[in-house]
Amino acid sequence: MERITKADDRVHRPAGPWTPTVHRLLAHLHEQGFVAAPEPIELDNTLETVSFVPGVAGEYPWTEDVASEAALVTSARMLRHYHDAAATFPLDEDADVWSQTPSTPVETVVHGDFAPYNCVYDGIAAVGIIDFDTAHPGPRVWDVASAVYRFAPFTTGAVEGANAPTLDARLSRAAEFCRAYGLDQASRSVLAPTMLASITALLTMLETEAAAGNPKFVSDLEHGHADLYRADAAYIEQHADDITRAVV
């Protein structure tokens, strides 16, 4: 498992080949006035140090605060503010290293795994974003689709910390996230297929990393995450037209 430790107001995390680029991104965000992300402090060959973002991460099981509509709305608005700040990040194709393959159209640097567990909350208000390891250039809808999948949530598994929502409740939360973000109509029209593409990417990464012996992904595979993602993809595909009608 990842060795992540906290000391005072600093977090120490394993570094990867992409971490120098991520640190440039984090520094750029702060220069743009977006302070809801960690601030880069130190970096060596194996370890990165970033500032601690105070608050409570939206881990499972969800608290009543994290499951609230207010948390969904403030998370969507925070994602929009992040995207706007990251859109001016100066890309360098010769020097940048990302953990994920950039996708088109490149509109910003997406977070790559925007979900409640990578958001930090102060009560019902989203106040921070953490874990930028999967950041990469891409379209805004990539993050919004991933977020809607997690926040609605469109999962066939147990929804921990909240009553299992009906389809109508999921559709309503999906539409509210898109409204709060301010997603354009063209992106809304491809939200459902983008959700499916993001789950496919999750599956590919999970199975590739597990095959390479990465202990975190081996554990995820053993705990049935791949089967859950496949079931979720089938559920989303079954209700793709409903999702599109709800958000467009």
pLDDT of residue 83: 98
C-alpha span between 104 and 119 (Å, rounded): 25
Averaged pLDDT for residues 188-204: 96
Per-residue pLDDT for 162 more than 60? no
pLDDT of residue 164: 66
Per-residue pLDDT reduced to its tens digit, 224-234:
999 999 999 99
Averaged pLDDT for residues 191-220: 93
Task: Give the chain as a DSSP string.
Answer: ----EEETTEEEEE--TTHHHHHHHHHHHHHTT--SSPPEEEE-SSEEEEE---SEE-PSSPPTTTTSHHHHHHHHHHHHHHHHHHTT----TTT---SS---SS--EEE-S--SGGGEEEETTEEEEE---TT-EEE-HHHHHHHHHHHHTT--SS--TTSPPPPHHHHHHHHHHHHHHHT--HHHHHTHHHHHHHHHHHHHHHHHHHHHTT-HHHHHHHHTTHHHHHHHHHHHHHHTHHHHHHHH-
Per-residue pLDDT for 27 more than 50? yes
Confidence class for position 161, pLDDT limits 50, 70, 90: very low
The per-residue pLDDT of the chain, averaged, comes to: 94
Per-residue pLDDT for 102 more than 90? yes
pLDDT of residue 1: 44
User: What is 56-247's CATH number?
Assistant: 3.90.1200.10
What ranges do the domains of the chain cover? 5-51, 56-247
pTM of the model as a whole: 0.94
